[in-house]
């Protein structure tokens, strides 16, 4: 049975005090969230707060910490960069890689993203690999080809053992931060496509075991119907993860 995951990507938001308060406000509701081995919460605060948030979540079962990015290099003279080894050393468990904001604003290529995935895996951390098409591609109706290329150039270079350890997030760029969510049918169609592509390349068992999250304007109102589909295994939530009430409503909307 594959894991159901609700991940909150805080992006470049919150002060230190706000971050600690937000973690506390989310975890205080722990008992009502019905978390288990198969239904987990991942929180991705900004780098400076990761170590403290990791300590706060240490004794909370089924809560995990993610970094929003890591370097494609393992160590050395890369001023301002953060390595996967550093993140592992503060007990971060997941790393978001290839987010569309990193691809667009920081010119991250599929080749660089693949290196980041390898760095995360070498440190026994789980990469959350993001893919998804911009608006003009969706309007041209070439989104399947676009996503296929993202998969082909990146995660299809992984071995069977490596791909088993990743999580995928489908985030159509036109739905990110726009309030314009993909419909459950649109999202399910792409998730099913991605799972099928994995099946063609790595076989049915691996394809059935990989969690594929949906991201793009997930909120407390639309989460339940998105999650009530065959191939959506949770959400990668931006804006709504900054509000503890909304985020916990989204967590509750995910059936284990
Ligand atoms: P929003 O939920 O704010 O649309 O952001 C989605 C996202 O980019 C998560 O990584």
Nearest ligand 1 atom to alpha carbon 240: 2
- pTM for the full model? 0.97
* Domain containing residue 99: 4-253
Please state the rounded mean pLDDT for residues 3-17: 98
Residue 100's pLDDT is: 98
Distance 87 CA to ligand 1 centre (A): 22
Q: What is the Cα gyration radius of the chain?
A: 17
Question: How does pLDDT run across 117-152, given as a tens digit for each residue?
Answer: 999 999 999 999 999 999 999 999 999 999 999 999
Stretch 70-80: mean pLDDT: 98
| Contact (CB, 8 A) for 53 and 65 | yes
Number of domains in the chain: 1
- Cα(235) to centroid of ligand 1, in Å? 9
Ligand 1 surroundings by CB, under 6 angstroms: 9, 99, 171, 176-177, 215-218, 236-240
Nearest CA to ligand 1 atom 5: 238
Q: Which of 53, 56, 46, 36 is nearest to 9 (CA)?
A: 46
In contact, 120 and 106? CB cutoff 8 Å: no
Count of CA atoms in the C-beta half-sphere (13 A) of 221: 5
Question: Tens digit of pLDDT for each residue in 202-226?
Answer: 999 999 999 999 999 999 999 999 9
pLDDT in the model for residue 256: 74
CATH code assigned at 52: 3.20.20.70
Distance from C-alpha of 158 to C-alpha of 88, rounded to nearest angstrom: 21
């Amino acid at each position: 049975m594959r894991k159901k995951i609700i991940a909150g990507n805080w992006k470049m938001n919150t002060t230190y005090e706000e971050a600690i308060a937000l973690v506390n406000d989310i975890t205080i509701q722990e008992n009502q969230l019905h978390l288990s081995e198969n239904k987990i919460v991942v929180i991705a605060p900004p780098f400076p707060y990761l170590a403290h948030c990791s300590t706060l979540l240490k004794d909370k079962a089924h809560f995990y910490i993610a970094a929003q990015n890591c370097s494609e290099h393992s160590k050395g003279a890369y001023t301002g960069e953060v390595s996967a080894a550093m993140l592992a050393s503060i007990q971060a468990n997941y790393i978001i890689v290839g987010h569309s904001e990193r691809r667009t604003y920081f010119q991250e290529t599929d080749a660089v993203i693949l290196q980041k995935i390898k760095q995360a895996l070498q440190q026994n951390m789980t990469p959350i690999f993001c893919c998804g098409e911009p608006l003009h591609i969706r309007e041209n109706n070439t989104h399947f080809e676009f996503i296929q290329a993202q998969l082909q150039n990146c995660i299809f270079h992984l071995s069977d053992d490596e791909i088993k350890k990743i999580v995928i997030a489908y985030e159509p760029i036109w739905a990110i931060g726009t309030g314009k969510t993909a419909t459950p049918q649109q999202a399910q169609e792409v998730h099913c496509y991605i799972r099928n592509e994995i099946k063609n390349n790595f076989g049915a068992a691996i394809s059935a075991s990989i969690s594929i999250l949906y991201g793009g304007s997930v909120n407390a109102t639309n989460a339940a119907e998105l999650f009530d589909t065959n191939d959506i295994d949770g959400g990668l939530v931006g804006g709504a993860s900054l509000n503890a009430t909304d985020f916990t409503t989204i967590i509750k909307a995910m059936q284990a």
